[in-house]
Amino acid sequence: MAIEIERKFLIDLQKIPPLKNGNIIQQGYVETKNSITVRARVSNEKAFLTLKGKNRGNLRSEFEYPIPLKDALEIIDELCEGLIIHKTRYLLSHAGHTWEIDIFEGDNKGLAIAEVELKSEMEIVKIPIWVTKEVTGEKKYNNSTLSKHPYLLWDRD
């Protein structure tokens, strides 16, 4: 079984170094039960089908397979029932780790999240100055949740 170990953070875009060579990503989610995620993703004319298990802290099972672009677009169009997010992803190196910086568009515009994948739960990560808050495990920041409850509709008192 493949295991994903990642931490997720909110970021201050004013403090981050210039971002270059972003990949535009469209991903759609098939409605499931029990916090299981089924996703079709299109990025740079490549497509993937991903299945993810329930979150257990910063761990979850993950299975990802390349699929034909045409199939991914049809899955998003026919099976995702509007549960779609759009974002641009940038890769940024910091202190020995590659950080994925996601800048969301559409109904999630204004949200920027950084993720860092780890080799083990005990791995030490040096937090960059542009990180403002850790949101690992906060379900509302999961992409699948953002497809149902977008950032622009959040009550932010």
Which residues are tagged catalytic? Answer: 29
CB 98 within 8 A of CB 141: no
CA–CA dist 3, 22 (Å, integer) = 26
CB 53 within 8 A of CB 36: yes
DSSP string, 65-108: EEE-HHHHHHHHHHHSTT-EEEEEEEEEEETTEEEEEEEE-GGG
Q: 3-state class of 155 per DSSP?
A: coil
